[in-house]
């Protein structure tokens, strides 16, 4: 496990983008696992900048972690729309090379099985992660048991409150989502987890310094052989050596 701490999210985004660029340049058919949310925006801004300065992404495939259940793809807060807005419409990744769960599928169980097959056919070279204030990765919420395969999850009240800032009110936040399971995440060859802000400091510390435990899902990353935590000073503030 590597820990990299930066002064600003922009600096962290530059570093994370350099890691992604390595994978793109060194892999014939790179497969990137992508996340959504405000934390990863600095990374996507830097990937767009790299593309505008010559980085070819036409051979890249992307597999997103999750999507809300019940939001159409064109909804302003859907993760389909997030990815279009912050990355896909600015780079040359072919549309048919990008996969996001269909939260409006008529049969959600079948959609989960379809998505597991996508990941099986296209193993992840790198998985980008954020982390919830409760330690979730993807939408794998704290629980007695972490599910290995793609599944429908009921979002915790903590996650709903955290995501309410993106909606007009908390009542508008979907209560369920489709998410990759922890098995697919751990099978990625490399993992980069990004976290910024004091509100993430406790989850980061428990994930890195605590025991592996299902009520802190990100702690399972301790079992992976190639993980980099990309942090700012606030999110690292409870780590030993960084203020903790």
111 counts as catalytic: no
Distance, CA of 143 to CA of 156 (rounded, Å): 10
Active site residue 90: no
Q: How far apart are CA 38 and CA 234, in angstroms?
A: 16
Which pLDDT band holds residue 126 (cuts at 50, 70, 90)?
A: very high
Rg over CA atoms, the chain: 17
Q: Which of 6, 110, 130, 158 is nearest to 65 (CA)?
A: 130
**Of 64, 134, 140, 163, catalytic:** 134
Q: Which residues pair with 33 in a beta bridge?
A: 63, 127
Is residue 119 predicted with pLDDT exceeding 70? yes
Would you say residue 154 has pLDDT above 70?
Answer: yes
**For residue 136, is pLDDT > 80?**
yes
CA nearest neighbour of 51 among 95, 26, 87: 87
Closest CA to 17 of 78, 89, 81, 91: 91
Closest CA to 218 of 150, 136, 158, 154: 136
Distances (CA, A) of 46 to 6, 23, 65, 99, 238: 15, 15, 20, 21, 28
CA–CA distance, 204 with 238 (Å, rounded to integer)? 8
Domains observed in the chain: 2-182+195-232 (3.40.50.1360)
Catalytic status, residue 134: yes
pTM attached to this predicted model = 0.94
Percent of the chain with pLDDT over 70: 99
Q: How does pLDDT run across 62-100, given as a tens digit for each residue?
A: 999 999 999 999 998 899 999 999 999 999 999 999 999
The helix (run of H) or strand (run of E) holding residue 115 is helix 108-121
Q: Which of 45, 111, 125, 141 is catalytic?
A: 141
Identified catalytic residue from 136, 140, 151, 234:
136
């Amino acid at each position: 496990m590597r820990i990299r701490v930066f002064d600003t999210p922009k600096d962290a985004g530059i570093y994370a983008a350099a890691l992604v660029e390595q994978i793109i340049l060194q892999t014939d058919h790179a497969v990137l696992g992508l996340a959504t949310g405000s934390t990863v925006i600095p990374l996507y801004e830097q990937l767009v900048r790299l593309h505008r300065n010559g980085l070819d992404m036409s051979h890249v495939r992307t597999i997103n972690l999750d999507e809300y259940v019940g939001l159409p793809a064109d909804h302003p807060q859907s993760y389909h729309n997030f990815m279009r807005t912050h990355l896909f419409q600015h780079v040359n990744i072919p549309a048919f090379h990008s996969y996001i769960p269909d939260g409006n599928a008529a049969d959600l169980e079948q959609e989960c099985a379809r998505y597991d097959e996508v990941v099986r056919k296209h193993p992840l070279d790198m998985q980008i992660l954020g982390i919830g204030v409760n330690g979730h990765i993807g939408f794998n919420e704290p629980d007695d048991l972490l599910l290995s395969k793609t599944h429908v999850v009921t979002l915790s009240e903590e996650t709903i409150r955290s995501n309410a800032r993106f909606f007009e009110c908390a009542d508008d936040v979907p209560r369920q989502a489709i998410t990759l399971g922890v098995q697919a995440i751990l099978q990625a060859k490399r993992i980069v987890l990004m976290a910024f802000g004091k509100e993430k400091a406790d989850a980061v510390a428990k994930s890195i310094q605590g025991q592996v435990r299902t009520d802190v899902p990100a702690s399972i990353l301790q079992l992976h052989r190639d993980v980099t935590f990309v942090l700012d000073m606030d999110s690292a503030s409870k780590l030993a050596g960084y203020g903790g």
